[in-house]
Amino acid sequence: MAKLPVQFRLNGSDRAGFVDPAGNLLDLLRRGLGDFAPKYGCGQGTCGVCTVLVDGEPQLSCLTLAISCDGRQIETASGMADGPNLHPLQQAFMDNFAAQCGFCTPGMLTAARALLARNPNPTRDEVVEAISGNICRCTGYEPIIAAILAAAAGGAGMRRA
Amino acid sequence: MLEMRKEIFADERDDNLNVVGKGVQRQDMPGHVTARTRFFDDHAFDGLLHLKVVRSPHHHARIRSIDVSAAERAPGVKRVLRGADVPVNKNTLLSLINFGKDDEPTLAVDKVRYKGEPVVAIIADSDAAALAARKLVRIDYEPLSPVFDVEEALKPGAPVVNETYPGNYFEYHQRFDHQKLRFGDVERAFTQADHVVEHRYQMSPIEHAPTETNGSIAAPEHNDRYVVHTCAQGLFFSLGTTAKIVDLESNRLHFIGGTVGGGFGGKVDSLSEPLAVLGAMLTAKPVRYVLDREEEMLYGSPRGAERIYVKDGVMRDGRIIARYIRSYFDAGAYTRLSSYAAIKCTAHVPGPYSIPNVASDIYVAYTNRCPSTAMRGFGVTAVDFALEVQMDRLAEAVNMDPMEFRILNAYRDGDMKAHRRVAKNTALVECVQVAAEKANWPISEQARRASSLTEGGGERGQIPATPLDQRGQIGRPESRNAPATQTLPASTTRIPLSKQPIFEGARDARPTPVQVPRYEAPPRYDPAIAPPPPQPAHQPVSAPPAPPPPAAPAQPQHGAVRFSSVFGTRRR
Amino acid sequence: MLDVRSCASLSEAAGILSGDRQALLIAGGTLVMRDVNEGRLTEGTLLRVTDPAFRQVSAGGARVEIGAGVTMAMVLSHRDLAYLHAPARGIGGPAIRTMATIGGNLFAQTPYGDFTVALLALGAEIVVQAGYGSGRAVPLEDFLAGRERGGQGLVTAVQFPRPQNPSEFLFRKISRVKPKGISVLSIAAHLPTSGGRLVQPRVAYGAMAPVPMRARGVERALDGKPLDAAAIQAARQAALEGCRPATDAIASDWYRREILPVHLGRLLAGEPR
């Protein structure tokens, strides 16, 4: 079966690939384009480690048809840092020990980034709801919540999306 | 918040801490937050092939026939693997340290023993192609009666789960169907106790559910090696297991990993590496084998369920004078690490308490369940749950506060433990005191003044006379209720070995290798330990015939001999 | 292998669905892609609809019409659909809500399908287009009864009368994991009153039967009565009529039966969960 072309902007750069018609965005990003930030954890939409931003909205790349992203803006955790300078959320995660094995971290950062872009001063409940689609098996979530609140307090939402 | 209780064990401690309580950053944190941390699947390979496994839908069944012809012809399929393609298709994980018999196939051949057991592996150029071809494999099964309950499995006449262990139990030291601990005379003490309290405790298998599923990628590398990116928690363990199964010298395997997306013990079984490497060997291409989430939940090995019976004899003043534990590990269909778990459990009972009469019988039973594995202190955490609930129930039986009850029975420095080792550096008393203080739980002045440093030793440091038995011999279930056969005199620290442990390690179509430390002479006793009083050599009531030694010449030992706890022997 | 076709019009998609038994609509992907990823769906054609009508919301008038491709996130962004925000917010996490559609939710197997429970209490009709003809409106209950048979055509939109007083529409999802979690059960109730008495109340449950169901016993107990303690007590006693809850990984049927009347009583009395 012939592969289909897909073109989009990934973390600010124009990228293109060829995909099986029913191929998902996660495989295209990882295997097609070498962006390993989104990961495979369940393939069912339960764990959130595949979370990316499509036109600024959080979406699960394992459940997204790659061809549906033609012409869109896609952002992953790989694009958060500005060269050697960490995004305030990334720095806050470090400062608050918000990762252990690190497998859920790119998805968590992406969900947090989407939250702060639309709500720069979230309450704790709003932070909890924003990461409610991301499972962490290591930290017990408290350091992650603390990191996101700290980043918000430091103005992470105002400065950059 | 770290609170240092410097007044406790003040003259033994060094509070000059460099790392504890200092908030030192993890060395892998920058990688985690920049998404640069490389898990096994975060590696690109040109021409990557994908492996999917056909699994048994039955708990227990004979395989009558396997037809992979349609799958082999399906679009995108490069190779289909069956049991005959696996060079060494029978293994047990602990063969690396010479413990146990090879009992588990990588791909089932004539029988499946748990629902989800791998039978056929399909390697294709995409996940979708492998999944589509998987549906085309036709396997004709003849379902057999399964057994799911550990005690039912041990009854004579139960369906045989794993023919390597026809009694459905792991065979310890070629002698018994369980692991024994004997210290003092529990039966006599029960008759003297004011209360006898017996309860049964049961836990379920627990799934680790790491966010990253089990998997690996194997690829041909230069220098005629295979590189393997794996989620394994123990790289050398996994390398050794893989080398044996695919019959490759270990220096032709290059294992990269140690970066695990959550393991918790569930990534020690080398579930994916052997097939991935075999696939790479047979296709000369990179092969990726990753469990999907459903496979991880259902067929990735769980923490083994345990059934624990605790029977205690307690005096009305609160002293426990006897504890007998009978426990069953549900190994599932294959041994994996359960044999070791039972030894850890035996080493752990009766808990941190000074009890003058202790006995335990720990069984590893095979059932038609998914084989179980390690998780967070396996062998210990479940039995601790049972023991501590039991302690609360005992306190209730003697109308005593549960904290005080524990302080009363806690072991102290100088006490003799049931394993015939003197307790040192004990601290349970102080832990309970501080916990009571933190919880605003009032305890008596006497309990508050108790100390691990005093009140131990003396009579409590003696080894009592201990009846021994030959109950539960391998292949002789009728011996499970036999009486005691002799009494070991008080102060006996060791039983002299009556024969050398010999293990079989049968591999399909290969001669039995020598895997066991071969003793040319009986072991030397360490002169630092007083030799036992002279006595006749320990004669079992009816000696099973000693198996003839293997004919192969003595070879260098394979594996670490220092795992003495596993063998029940000790070398210094 | 699976193929994908994009359809620029609803009619085109409906026509293909009626002619090709192996064609399947994919909207948000939260149900279909799971089957693809896990190897249950390996043959056939996935249809994507790019027709703007599929994602249209018309919520201001007396009759509300919401395109089947409207996502939960879109529902949450419409202020005039505020009474549907509670059910929409209960669906998955933020990323799922970006993708999951109200049309897809009609097909979610119990214990999922909480948005459909809300629609059932609103007296919704499903607009179905079979073949190249025009759509016809099917009462949601009939649609759900025929759901497993399949072959009903393309669901293009959902319609229902706009609740005159949005505060008379109640919804509650009971789950162990909060805020996001699979339902132990969910309850939706539309309780219009006139002259202090309930007029044709509609109450629906999720996860209490193989499909979302009407709680007819409760409706009979409440109809024509003021919503007072006596009526709530009568409703609780009739709560389990018609229920056939499943035992699944989330809860047993016994447990669902035990807690349903309790949660129904609290919802009707305005007490917290």
Which residues on B lie below 8 Å from C37 (Cβ)? 292
What strand order describes the sheet that includes B320-332? B179-183, B358-366, B320-332, B306-314, B195-202
- Boundary-marking domain end, from B299, B323, B342: B299
Residues 6 or more apart whose CB falls under 8 angstroms from that of B454 comprise B412
- Chain position carrying tokens 């008759």: B191
Residue with tokens 């669905």: C17
Instruction: Determine contact: B51 vs chain C, CB below 8 A.
Output: no
For the residues A130-144, what does the mean pLDDT come to? 97
Q: Which chains touch C (3 or more CB pairs under 8 A)?
A: A, B
Quickly count: other Cβ atoms within 10 Å of residue B164's Cβ.
Answer: 20
Contacts of B292 in chain C (CB under 8 A): 37-38
CB contact under 8 A, C1 and B134: no
Of B52, B128, B294, the CB nearest to C1: B128
- Which domains, ranges and CATH numbers included, belong to chain C? 2-49 (3.30.43), 52-161 (3.30.465.10), 167-269 (3.30.390.50)
Nearest to C157 by CA among C180, C187, C127, C184: C127
The verdict on B120 and B157 lying in the same domain is no
Dihedrals φ, ψ of C66, to 5°? -125, 125
Cβ–Cβ below 8 Å for B128 and C38 = no
Q: Please, is B553 exposed, middle or buried when counting C-beta atoms within 10 Å of its C-beta (0-12, 13-18, 19+)? A: exposed
b/e sequence A90-125, b meaning 16+ C-beta within 10 Å: bbbbbbbbbbbbbbbbbbbbbbbbbbbeeeeebeee
Give per-residue pLDDT as tens, B334-360: 999 999 999 999 999 999 999 999 999
Residues B421 and B523 occupy one common structural domain: no
Element (H, E) at C235: helix C229-237
Three-class DSSP labels, B212-238 = CCCEEEEEEECCCEEEEEECCCCHHHH
| Domain around B337 | 153-201+306-461
Q: What is the mean pLDDT of residues A128-157?
A: 95
pTM of the model: 0.90
Q: Is B128 on the interface with A (CB under 8 A)?
A: yes
Whether A55 has its CB under 8 Å from any CB of chain C: the answer is no
- What are all long-range contacts of B189-194, with beta carbons under 8 Å and residues at least 24 apart? B189/B313, B189/B321, B189/B322, B189/B356, B189/B357, B190/B311, B190/B313, B190/B322, B190/B324, B192/B313, B192/B321, B193/B312, B193/B313, B193/B314, B193/B315, B193/B321, B193/B322, B194/B314, B194/B315, B194/B316, B194/B398
Residue B398 within any structural domain of the chain: yes
Least CB–CB distance from A105: residue in B25, B33, B38? B33
Q: Within 13 Å and on the Cβ side, how many CA atoms surround B257?
A: 31
Cβ proximity of A106 and A37 under 8 Å:
yes
| Residues in Cβ contact with B153 at an 8 Å cutoff, skipping those fewer than 6 apart | B147, B161, B168, B365, B366, B367
For the record, the structure tokens of C212 come out as 């979302």
- Structurally, how many domains does chain B consist of? 3
Q: Is residue B483 part of a domain?
A: no
In the sheet that C185-190 helps form, which strands lie side by side, from edge to edge? C169-174, C185-190, C202-206, C213-214
Q: Are C10 and C156 in contact (CB under 8 A)?
A: yes
Q: Peptide bond preceding B350: is omega within 30 degrees of 0, i.e. cis?
A: yes
Q: Subunits touching A (CB < 8 Å, at least 3 pairs)?
A: B, C
- Report the residue from C2, C38, C43 with minimal CB separation from B292: C38
Can you spell out the DSSP letters for B3-33?
Answer: ---TTTTTTT-----SSTTS-PPPTTHHHHH
Distance in Å from the first CA to the final CA of chain C: 47
Q: What's the Cα-to-Cα distance from C107 to each of A42, B301, C93, rounded to whole Å?
A: 21, 33, 19
Question: Which CATH number is B423's domain given?
Answer: 3.30.365.10
Residues 248-277 of B with CB under 8 A from A: 259-264
| Residue A29 DSSP one-character state | I
CA B19 from centre of chain: 32
In this structure, are residues B395 and B405 in contact, taking their beta carbons and an 8 Å threshold?
yes
Do B402 and B449 lie in one domain? The reply is: yes
If asked whether residues B313 and B341 sit together in one domain, one would say: yes
What's residue B499's pLDDT?
60
CA C26 to chain B, closest CA, distance in angstroms equals 18
CA distances from B94 to A32, B101, B123 (A): 40, 9, 29
Tell me if B479 is assigned to some domain.
no
Q: Which of C103, C149, C133, C131 is nearest to C20 (CA)?
A: C131
- Predicted pLDDT of residue C180: 75
- Chain A CB within 8 Å of residue B41 CB: yes
Phi and psi torsions of B38, nearest 5°: -100, 105
The answer to whether A51 and A111 are in contact (CB under 8 A) is: yes
The chain A residue lying nearest C5, using CA atoms, is: A21
Contact B407, B454 (CB under 8 A): no
Task: Give the position of tokens 């071809």.
Answer: B133
User: Span A17-23, mean pLDDT?
Assistant: 94
Nearest beta carbon to residue C95 from set A1, A48, A128: A48
Intra-chain end-to-end CA distance of chain A, in Å: 39
Closest CA of chain A from C26, distance in Å: 9
Please report, for residues A66, B478, C3, C37, the alpha-carbon distance to residue C41 in angstroms, rounded to integers and kept in the order given. 17, 54, 11, 8
B187-246 pLDDT tens trace: 999 999 999 999 999 999 999 999 999 999 999 998 999 999 999 999 999 999 999 999
* Cβ separation A132–C93 shorter than 8 A: yes
Within-domain flag for B493: no
CA distance B428 to B177: 33
- Interface check B50 vs C, CB under 8 A: no
Question: Which positions ≥6 away from B13 have C-beta within 8 Å?
Answer: B6
pLDDT over 80 at A159, yes or no: no
Q: Please give, rounded to a whole number of angstroms, the shortest distance from the CA of B376 to a CA of chain C.
A: 24
CB within 8 Å: A44 and C95: no
* Cα B550 to Cα A17: distance, rounded to the nearest angstrom: 61
Which residues of chain B are within 8 Å of residue A36 when distances are taken between CB atoms? 35, 38, 41-42
- What pLDDT is stored for residue C130 in this prediction? 86
Shared domain for B336 and B394, answered yes or no, is: yes
Q: Which pLDDT score is estimated for C169?
A: 97
Look at residue B43 and give its three-state secondary structure.
coil
- What's the helix, strand, coil split of chain A in %, to 5? 40, 20, 45
Rounded alpha-carbon distances, angstroms, from residue B511 to B325, B381, B505, B514: 40, 40, 9, 9
Distance from CA of C194 to the nearest CA of A (A): 37
Q: B423 and B556: one domain?
A: no
Give Cα separations from B142 to A54, B65, B159, B332 (angstroms).
50, 10, 14, 20
Examine the domain organization and report whether B54 and B115 are in the same domain.
yes
Residue B135 Cα, gap to closest chain C Cα (Å): 9
For position C89, what pLDDT does the model report?
Answer: 95
**Domain C-terminal end among B461, B491, B509:** B461
CB C26 within 8 A of CB C13: no
The last residue of a domain, from among B299, B315, B339: B299
| Chain C residues contacting A via beta carbons under 8 Å | 1-4, 6, 26, 28-30, 33-34, 36-38, 46, 48, 73, 92-96, 98-99, 179-180
pLDDT at position B172 is 93
* Residue B10 located in a structural domain: no
In terms of Cβ atoms closer than 10 Å to its own Cβ (0-12, 13-18, 19+), residue B249 is exposed
Report the alpha-carbon distance of residue A32 to residue A52 in Å, rounded. Answer: 16
Whether residue B426 is found in the same domain as residue B278: no
Q: What single DSSP character describes residue B207?
A: -
Same domain, B123 and B265: yes
Task: Evaluate whether residue B37 is within a structural domain.
Answer: no
* Structure confidence at residue B498 (pLDDT): 63
Pair B117, B253 in one domain: yes
- What residues of chain B score a pLDDT lower than 70? 1, 497-572
Domains, chain A, with CATH or none: 4-78 (3.10.20.30), 88-159 (1.10.150.120)
What's the gap in Å between the CA of A46 and the closest CA on chain B? 10
Statement to judge: residues B360 and B452 lie in one domain: yes
Q: How far apart are CA C174 and CA C255, in angstroms?
A: 12
Q: Do B440 and B348 lie in a common domain? A: yes
**A140: closest CA among A88, A99, A107?**
A99
Query: Residue-wise over C168-180: b if at least 16 C-beta within 10 A, else e?
Result: bbbbbbbbeeeeb
| DSSP state, residue C201 | -
- CATH number assigned to the domain comprising residue B236: 3.90.1170.50
Interface contact B132-C36, CB threshold 8 A? no
Q: What share of chain C is helix, strand, coil (3-state, %, to 5)?
A: 35, 25, 40
Split at pLDDT 50, 70, 90, the class of A158 is low
Whether residues C38 and B75 touch (CB distance < 8 A) is answered with: no
Could you tell me if residue B118 is inside a domain?
A: yes
What is the C-alpha separation between B429 and A155, in angstroms, rounded? 50
Question: How close does chain B come to A33, measured CA to CA in Å?
Answer: 10
Q: Which residues of chain C have pLDDT under 70?
A: none
